[in-house]
Amino acid sequence: MIVLFGYKNIRFLDTTLRDGEQTPGVSLTPVQKLKIAEELSAIGVNVIEAGSAVASEGEREAIKLISDAGLNAEICTYARAKTEDIDLAVKCGVDSVHLVVPVSDLHITKKLGKTREEVYAMAMETVAYAKERGLIVELSGEDSSRADQQYLARLFRDGVAHGADRLCFCDTVGLLTPEKTAEIIPPLCFAPLSIHCHNDLGLALSNTISALRSGATCAHTTINGMGERAGNVPFEEVVMVLEKLYGYDTGIDTTKIYALSTLVSQLTKIPLAANKPIVGGMAFTHESGIHAHGLLRDPTTYEPMSPETVGRKRRIVLGKHSGTASVQSALKELGYEPGEKHLAEIVARVKKVGDMGMKVTDADVMAIADSVMLLECKPVISLKQFTVVSGSNAIPTASATMVVNGTKVTGAATGTGPVDATIKVLQQSVAKFGDITLEEFHVDAINGGTDALVDVTVKMRKDGRVLTSRGARTDIVEASVEAVIAGMNRLLRDENENRRSNTD
């Protein structure tokens, strides 16, 4: 363990439900906020900033719902230096207030139209009032990094004298550097000090770690780095940097990180960047033949940590960079045991598909292997026809006629859209023969224009088996049907059939 962290207990205040929800276009219902709060508490977050009680009636409903949930975490609300904000916080039943006071001259004069002394007086009065009402107070300096540091020190020192339990330094527009952070944090630690960093210039993580090494004892974070503009420092990155690079036991259940990240992404409808550290789709995904070969021998060759540490699994995808080892590994997982010559031909064909700029799915690999190994693959499902009705005055409805294992099946289903309705009727039609669930659905437009070729990739599951397949058409519904039918056919195949080369 690093000595600089050895003498203190680092805590986490997560503000996904307040600062994170200020991401443009994001609006969570009280029930959704409660669900996220429950998971934040379960993973080990110390303080949950549940929202801003002054914002709206709906926001107060959500904060009260979370406050009454009996979570292990301390529940907090944002408050301005106004006694009415404190009264609302008390009505919501929170444990603490994140009392935010503008401290830079820019904010004091331009935003509030006041003087330093007026803001100072407001802060002292509100801190004392909040303590009288039985609240834990974290006094926070908004735009601290652009403030006169002597004024900020006075406000923090006297705030503690008036009863503030904790302090917070806010780098509101991400202007700190790690070196500057290390210089200005130590003189401000009159009480346990939090660091609240925004990521406008990409230094939020570095500045947060620098502050924690320099005397701060709490990091303000958001899941997935959500927040206004470029967002806040990501919770998952701070936790794993402390755990992995500094050997510090954060007390966070890191195996729940990916599930929490995915939940927040789904509820906020903010997708994760594919290359985002730790939780992005590509974080533990490998294609390169050299990398994959090394990973199959020893995962630490090209991974800084085990994916299971954060609740994930390693993926080796196939494409033009794939080598023999990774293709052979994928084939083994799919139940194939090709001989040396067959394997070489399969590898060549996989690379050819990749050279065409296409994703190589599990269904593609199986089709290539069947062809090369001269294996007969009788389709389990044969689609005879499907029809979709959708429009401004119609509930999206799909009907389909299929032959499944020699049995004719006709059905219909409604959905939230034409694609959803179509996939549902396909799933219903094969339900008797196997419960197949759709895990992921991804769409790419291959070229521009209204006649763009649409590439649909799906991930489906049956009895623990997961398989990806692809469909490409100019019609998104037809492409979706093609992908789903291809995947279902592969999942419903006899798992005990012989897929081994008898001869090369």
Chain segment 216-227, per-residue pLDDT in tens? 999 999 999 999
Measured CA angle at 195 (ends 38, 249), to 5 deg: 60
The string over 297-311, giving b where at least 16 C-beta atoms fall within 10 Å of a residue's C-beta and e elsewhere, is eeeeeebebebebbb
Classified by CATH at the fold level, domain 381-491 comes out as Double Stranded RNA Binding Domain (3.30.160)
Which residue has 């593609």 as its token pair?
Answer: 364
> Within a 10 A sphere around the Cβ of 31, how many other Cβ atoms?
11
What are the start and end residues of each CATH 1.10.238 domain in the chain?
A: 285-372
What are the start and end residues of each CATH 3.30.160.270 domain in the chain?
A: 381-491
* Bridge partners for 407 per DSSP: 404
What are the start and end residues of each CATH 3.20.20.70 domain in the chain?
A: 6-268
Closest CA to 45 of 85, 93, 70, 10: 10
Please give the Cα distance from 28 to 186 (Å, whole number): 37
| Most distant pair of Cα atoms in the chain: their distance | 88
Please give the Cα distance from 21 to 222 (Å, whole number): 10
> Within a 10 A sphere around the Cβ of 65, how many other Cβ atoms?
17
Residue 255: the pLDDT is: 96
Joined tokens for residue 183: 């210089």
Classified by CATH at the fold level, domain 285-372 comes out as Recoverin; domain 1 (1.10.238)
If you count DSSP H runs as helices and E runs as strands, how many of each does the chain have, helices first? 17, 16
What percent of the chain lies above the pLDDT cut of 70? 92
- Mean local confidence (pLDDT), 405-427: 93
Whether 404 has a pLDDT exceeding 70, the answer reads: yes
Residue 332: the pLDDT is: 83
Whether 82 has a pLDDT exceeding 70, the answer reads: yes
User: In 174-256, where does DSSP find H-type helix?
Assistant: 178-184, 204-213, 235-240
Whether 293 has a pLDDT exceeding 60, the answer reads: no
Half-sphere exposure of 323 (CA within 13 A, CB side): 11
- Mean local confidence (pLDDT), 278-297: 65
Residue 189: the pLDDT is: 97
2 band by pLDDT with thresholds 50, 70 and 90: very low
- Out of 3.20.10.10, 1.10.287.130, 3.30.1330.100, 3.20.20.70, select the CATH number for domain 6-268: 3.20.20.70
Who has greater pLDDT, 240 or 307? Answer: 240
- Flag whether the pTM goes above 0.85: no
pLDDT digits (tens, 9 = 90+) for 135-167: 999 999 999 999 999 999 999 999 999 999 999
Whether 278 has a pLDDT exceeding 50, the answer reads: yes
Least confident span in 22-26, 278-282, 344-348: 278-282
Residue 4: the pLDDT is: 53
- Mean local confidence (pLDDT), 393-405: 91
